[in-house]
Structure 1
Amino acid sequence: MSGQYRDFLELPYEELEELNLAAKEQRKNRVAPDKIQEERLKYLTDTKGIKAVTVVFSDLEGRLHMLDYDKKFLIGSYDNLTFDGSSIRGFTAQRESDLRLAIDWSAFYWTPADVFGAGKVLVFGEVIDKNGGHYAADLRGVLKAYAKEQFETNGYTLNAANEVEGFLFEGVEAERNYHLTGTFEYANSGGYYHSLPGDPLREFIDTTAEVQRAMGFENEKDHPEVAPSQFEINYTYGEVVAAGDQIQLYKLICRQVATQMGMTASFLPKPVVGVNGSGMHTNVSITKDKKNLFWDPKGQEKISPMAWEFVDRILTHGKDICLLMNASVNAFRRLDPHFEAPNQIKASATDRGSMIRIPIGNEKSARVEVRSVGPDANPYAVLYAVFKSGLDGETAQIENLRQAERYLPDNIYTAIEDFRSSEWTTKIFGDDVKGRYADLKQASADRCARLLGTIVKPSEVQFHHDVYNQLLWGQF
């Protein structure tokens, strides 16, 4: 059909950035939800160039799902958007499959037409169960409720920023075709900070950064990482739920830009043996009345006693929550001490092999960095587990806890066992959701070779939750 008859919304990147930053400021300032809802509905009604609203939500493993609703339909039915939960891994059983999506109008994004399509905007959804409450397996909703409770009870604002690494490989189906090729082909063989202007990796990073900037990410820096064809694109701190949303958008943007270039953006933690894997270093802090509670200029490493107590509790529960942070068979290849792997359950200002690092900071930037997180983990599960453990967890009576010789599991089976047997994970997730999550990880692990060995096996890519499709599982 000829495009001359179409007149859908296509905004310049500069205007997109202004709109998204204004929406971000509303969210940051906790503008009343009903006021934002009214404003967004009026915008959708008055703006004729919008044809559809993309509503996104995440399943239990962190896989992003997207539904496009016709704008007119959504305006009239936004409070009754039903979907079949039995088709979503880790959600409801077939006999009780009906779920609903509520719209989180504060998490509303204007998207670049050349990447997401003309005439579309995007908003995050919240999964509602058949009784009208938040659905327990929607960990975004769990995190949002916990963050709200901390703010209302203690005045705490939970903050996070994640450094998400990935690889750029040749071919649009590089992961799905791995069982045929047995290899990933680098788009660039340079290395840390080294990529010539105009080469494929630099073009990918530049384009992705432009899209992020337009969507209000407030970029900080971007660069090739240590391994060939590896990248990292950093952006600013945010309130914890918004930070989780940005991780999901970051990965979506990377994948879409790579696909448009005829390539694949992969967030497998260790797609290639012999080079550094990819991490999702998770930087967290807590503020109250705009004061960083983790900062103490006279404290050890210039962080406060509260921050050290937070660290101690995470170290105590390190093995309990390891499966949440390293959520796949492939993730345990990354926990290799030969490649700066953060597999030691200790804290350090300098040792990058430690699970937790205390970066150099000041009153604004003082934070705790949890390094042992893979980029394929469910960001909402990770952030919830980190803050819940750090604030409400126990402190082990272990001599020299912060430097004790303890290590994270080196395989997913041990991590699953630790997760299942932990009283703490039952406390924070409940028996039902905990069991569903562990069962999903067990099912993936059982489809892969038990011993990792020295090469990446096709099964650990084929049955990876980010790559998963029904056909592959049906052929097992």
Structure 2
Amino acid sequence: MTDWTDKLPQAARDFMAGRRLDEVECIVADIAGVARGKAMPASKFARQNQFYLPNSIFLQTITGEWADNPSGAFTEPDMVMTPDYSTATAAPWTADWTIQVIHDAYDQQGNPMPIAPRNVLKRIVKLYEDKGWKPVVAPEMEFFLVARNIDPNQPIIPPMGRTGRRAAAKQAYSMSAVDEYGKVIDDIYDFAEAQGFEIDGILQEGGAGQVEINLNHGDPVALADEIFYFKRLIREAALRHDCFATFMAKPIEGEPGSAMHIHHSVTDIATGQNIFSDDQGRETPAFLHFIAGMQKHLPAAVALLAPYVNSYRRYVPDFAAPINLEWGRDNRTTGLRVPISGPEARRLENRLAGMDCNPYLGIAASLACGYLGLLEAENPRDECLGDAYMSRDELPYNLGDALDLMMENAAMREVLGDEFCAVYESVKRNEYKEFLQVISPWEREHLLLNV
């Protein structure tokens, strides 16, 4: 073994044991959460400790266009990409022996790039640490398995199951529904094990072919890395069985959308105690302040939690998506839910994020709201004891309005970083403008001959 392999996690070393490593994929998440980078022979990777990518990868839109650079000229200077060996993991679906390594982005003076999503999340975690706190998250991932769709003009439909029938909707928690595409689930488990990831549970959700994967609680950056990796491994598992996996917030008309619920708790670094519970196991003022921060600042975070025009199709009443800022204990109609738990695991679940969000940015934005609440020390509104689906509208319902709220909130811009917010707005305004130029089938059907 060469020296660099000694730095790898045990799962990566187990994957490589007794084998000749062929390739290393050096990757970084862009604004959308898409993996960008380089693949290189393992022998070359062993001889270098960094590589270079143009900073323009963070100005690329989901359609492949280039947004305007808010800081001035589009000169595309190189960033220095440095491997984080703790993130090394197998790519078990490849034909040869390959591992992936997430890299951190620095400028040429050695400063973390403020527009890199992983660095944005690290920035938020550092704000907590500077106050003596350690944020803990537990994400839930919802996604759809769908039939192959190679014509964007055709609607997405559920996949064919082992019975020869299309996956059925309204089968939440059904074990037989999960068995319909059990081979895909088997490969997800196998890939996750090879990559060293622990799945807390897999279940059938309410949509046709909709699956939920729960991850164990832990460090926000590590969990965001896992979701970044999980999206790829799930897609690869689906492709092996002639279907697609999609993380769109609302891929199928008439079906519920896919969320990335985020459970939050905060521990005291010095004592290891959950700051949301006191010595007698009661809720603390800090817990209520955290909730208040969510209620106050989440409207400015929605642009990161719901980053595409399609994201807002999930925010409709009566489709299991909480579209409110109410909070309640064990109340799934509220946007902010306090799950049943013991005092040591007291936590708040943010149910607003879509699964289409960049996991680094979605978790960063959610943590930023709670952090601001802890600093501002305000109290939330009274707990919602009824059906929160009937509550007032408080959230933006399109991407343009969401971006306006983000840029108007000075506190949110400060914690996320002004330079990052400017780049993010530029990318998303470009995408929104491009979408508004597309004429939809609905418009052709109802307006062509009637107006």
Task: Check the 8 A contact 2:124/2:367 in 1, yes or no.
Answer: no
**In structure 2, distance between residues paired with 1:201 and 1:59:** 31
CA gap 1:341/1:432 in 2 versus in 1, 3 angstroms: same
Q: How many Å separate the matches in 2 of 1:451 and 1:312?
A: 39
Aligned to 2:151: 177
Paired position in structure 2 for 1:335: 315
Instruction: Tell me if structure 2 keeps the 8 A contact 1:324–1:377.
Output: yes
For residues 396 and 326 of structure 1, what CA distance do their matches in structure 2 show? 27
Q: Give the match for residue 286 of structure 2.
A: 306
Question: After superposition, what is the alpha-carbon deviation per residue over 1:204-253, rounded to whole angstroms, capped at 9, x for unaligned?
Answer: 22321232233222222111110111011222112110010011111111
Give the match for residue 97 of structure 2: 119
Report if aligned partners of 2:289, 2:380 keep a CA contact under 8 Å in 1: no
Equivalent AA in structure 2 for residue 156 of structure 1: W
Number of aligned positions between the proteins: 414
Which deviates further from its counterpart, 162-171 or 100-109?
100-109
Please state if 1:164 is matched with 2:132: no
Please point out which of 130, 151, 155 is paired with 2:108.
130
Find the aligned partners of 2:408 and 2:193 in 1 and give their Cα distance.
Answer: 43
- Compute the displacement of 1:167 (Å): 0.5
Asked if the contact 2:54/2:76 (under 8 Å) is kept, the reply is no
Structure number with the bigger relative contact order (C-alpha 8 A, sep ≥ 6) is 2
Aligned to 1:58: 29
| Structure 2 spans left out of the alignment, 5+ residues | 61-66, 161-166, 385-390, 445-451
Match of 1:189 in 2: 168
Candidates 399, 407, 419, aligned match of 2:406: 419
Aligned-pair CA distance for 1:340: 2.0
Superposed counterparts of 1:178-257, under 5 Å: 178-179=152-153, 181-187=154-160, 188-189=167-168, 191-194=171-174, 196=176, 200-257=180-237
Shift in Å, 1:193:
2.4
User: Any gaps of 5 or more consecutive residues in structure 1?
Assistant: 1-8, 10-34, 458-476
Note closer, same or farther for the CA distance 1:150–1:430 as it changes in structure 2 (3 Å cut): closer
CA contact (8 A) 1:312 1:401 kept: no
Inter-partner Cα distance in structure 1 for 2:415 and 2:342: 32
Preserved CA contact (<8 Å) 2:158 2:209: no
Q: Alignment partner of 2:85: what SS?
A: strand
- The letter for the 2-side match of 1:182 is P
Distance 2:327 2:136 in 1: 20
Note the 1:445-456 alignment, pairs <5 A: 445-449=432-436
Distance change in 2, residues 1:97/1:451 (3 Å):
closer
Conserved 8 A contact 2:26-2:37: yes
Identify the residue that residue 439 of structure 1 maps to in structure 2.
426
- Which amino acid counterpart does residue 147 of structure 1 have in structure 2? V
Residue type of the partner of 1:293?
I
Pick which of 91-100 and 136-145 moved more: 91-100
Structure 1 residues 334-373: aligned runs within 5 Å = 334-373=314-353
* Cα pair distance change 1:303/1:198, threshold 3 Å: closer
Paired with 2:371 and 2:200, the residues of 1 have a C-alpha distance of 29
**Amino acid of the structure 1 residue aligned with 2:155:** G
CA distance 1:143–1:295, change in 2 (3 Å): same
Q: Is the 8 A contact 2:292 2:378 kept in 1?
A: no
SS of equivalent residue, structure 1 residue 317? helix
For residue 78 of structure 1, what is the amino acid of its counterpart? N
Q: Match of 1:265, SS?
A: strand
Does structure 2 conserve the Cα–Cα contact (< 8 Å) formed by 1:205 and 1:223?
A: no
How far residue 430 of structure 1 moved from its aligned partner, in angstroms, is 3.2
The answer on whether the counterparts of 2:289 and 2:377 sit within 8 Å (CA) in structure 1 is: no
Q: Distance in 1 between matches of 2:42 and 2:317?
A: 51
For residue 433 of structure 1, report the CA deviation from its aligned partner. Answer: 1.8
Q: Provide the rounded CA distance (Å) in 2 between the counterparts of 1:59 and 1:45.
A: 28
Q: Does structure 2 retain, via aligned residues, the 8 Å contact 1:219–1:236?
A: yes
1:273 and 1:406 map into 2 onto residues whose CA distance is 23
| SS of residue matched to 1:330 | helix
Summarize the Cα distance change of 1:56–1:45 in structure 2 as closer, same or farther, 3 Å threshold: same
Letter in 1 for 2:187: T
Partner Cα separation in structure 1 for residue 417 and residue 360 of structure 2:
16
Q: Alignment partner for residue 291 of structure 1, among 257, 266, 273? A: 273
- Provide the C-alpha distance between the structure 1 equivalents of 2:400 and 2:274, rounded to a whole number of angstroms: 38
How far off its partner does 1:116 sit? 3.5
Once the two structures are superposed, residues 48-82 of structure 1 have per-residue CA deviations (whole angstroms, 9 ceiling, x without a partner) of 61122122211123222242122121121123x01
Residues of 2 paired with 1:318 and 1:430: CA distance?
Answer: 16
Match of 1:338, SS?
coil
Give CA-to-partner distance per residue, 1:103-129, whole Å, 9 cap, x none: 1112222343xx134321222110111
What amino acid does structure 2 have at the position aligned with 1:143? Answer: L
Distance 1:229 1:380 in 2: 26
Residue type of the alignment partner of 1:267: F
Picking from 56, 62, 78, the partner of 1:86 is 56
CA-based RMSD = 3.3
Contact 2:145–2:246 at 8 Å: present in 1 too? yes
Counterparts of 2:6 and 2:74 in 1: how far apart (Å)? 35
